[in-house]
Amino acid sequence: MKVLYSHRTRSADGQRVHIEGLTRALQRRGHQIVMAGPEDAGGNALQVKKPGLMKRLPAAIYECAEFAYSARGYVRLANLAASEAPDILYERYNLHYFAGAWLARRAGLPFILEVNGPLAEERSLHGNLALKKFARRNEVAIWQAADMVLPVTNALADFVRVAGVPDEKIAVIQNGVEQDFLEPADPGRIRDRYGLQGKLVLGFSGFVREWHGVDRAVRYLARANRNDLHLLIVGDGPARGGLEALANELGVAQQVTVTGVVQRDVMPQYVAAFDIALQPAVTAYASPLKLFEYMALGKPVLAPDAANIMEVLHDGENGLMFRGEGFDVALDALVADEALRQRLGAAARETIERDDYTWAANARRVEEVMERLKVERK
């Protein structure tokens, strides 16, 4: 099929990984993807102004501008639909962005909406949303306009159900991994580069934000008082400075390495250097990419016992879970027991293979949805 893929993502973080992982897998299955994103179609950006200028506006005006931009986005999508004649419209949900919903209704296109978070609630909780009722109404309207909604976890699907979307229009598709993470990866080069030979490496990968809770691992190093432990943070982000300052303050700076941005093609080598993979905190509805990458490389994962994580991990079977302030106790158990680490890591890898948490499998799942919608429209 020919798929018109609509999104508004500019970032190069996990959002981009998801977009590229799925679209490439769909292309490998023979589908043609017509991208409609900020840098697509000749580089004509899908933004009214530079983000920095826009965000200087009062919050309420900025949110109205986000909604108003749907008109421009609609024209862009409609032109692409007219020239490309797609079979399916697939959109990555963005708050206030009605372009896909309008096009689907007016052009009669089957409309699949991928939802990665309840953005009205998310932005409200983080204190940067002024028109809360306006945002919630828009979110519900966009979700209800879709022929199928694809939330990334069952926990997130509950938000979609509360918004009035019936179960038969919901298909949960978790995140996945690229084939590179399923191939053997040699950790030797990374361990040599950062002086990690003979160390027990606690690892975290991804864009580092405050809410990721990586400070727990830094504090653990100070409490454990073991020179053979090392924290390897693979990535960068706004929390980096605070973590490095904390490590200095606690006297464990020599046991913490922050790599900075790492390219995707070498990420498996970095994760392979971990002895224990950390997911110290999680948003309650998210499907963390790092979780599947850890598991694919056979790493024992330490994660909170949040409902969305327990959709994939089972305590003591293919991961180790902690509750509340139990991070240190659970990590103590992993640090002390190599056999436990090996058993959990092997079971984690087996879970990836058994349940097929890969982009290739996700493309097949999306394909099934597309085929069903196409049949229903005949």
- Express each pLDDT in 85-130 by its tens digit: 999 999 999 999 999 999 999 999 999 999 999 999 999 887 678 9
What pLDDT does residue 52 have?
55
Given 1.20.120.640, 3.40.50.2000, 3.30.450.40, 3.20.20.70, which CATH number is that of 2-176+358-377? 3.40.50.2000
Q: What is the pTM of this model?
A: 0.92
CA distances, 337 to each of 54, 139, 288 (Å):
52, 47, 26
Q: Given this model, what pLDDT does residue 54 score? A: 57
Number of C-beta neighbours around residue 52 at 10 A: 7
Tally of CB atoms within 10 A around 106: 11
Same fold, 2-176+358-377 and 180-355: yes
pLDDT at position 41 is 47
User: What confidence tens digit (pLDDT) does each residue in 247-289 have?
Assistant: 999 999 999 999 999 999 999 999 999 999 999 999 999 999 9
338-353 pLDDT per residue, tens: 999 999 999 999 999 9
Q: Which long-range contacts (CB under 8 A, 24 or more apart) does 165-173 make?
A: 171/365, 171/369, 173/114, 173/362, 173/365, 173/366
Q: Tokens in use for 52?
A: 């920095």
Q: Where are the domains of the chain?
A: 2-176+358-377, 180-355
- Non-local (6+) Cβ contacts of 165 within 8 A are 143, 144, 146, 149
Instruction: Assign domain 180-355 one CATH number from 3.40.50.300, 3.40.50.2000, 3.40.50.1220, 1.10.10.10.
Output: 3.40.50.2000
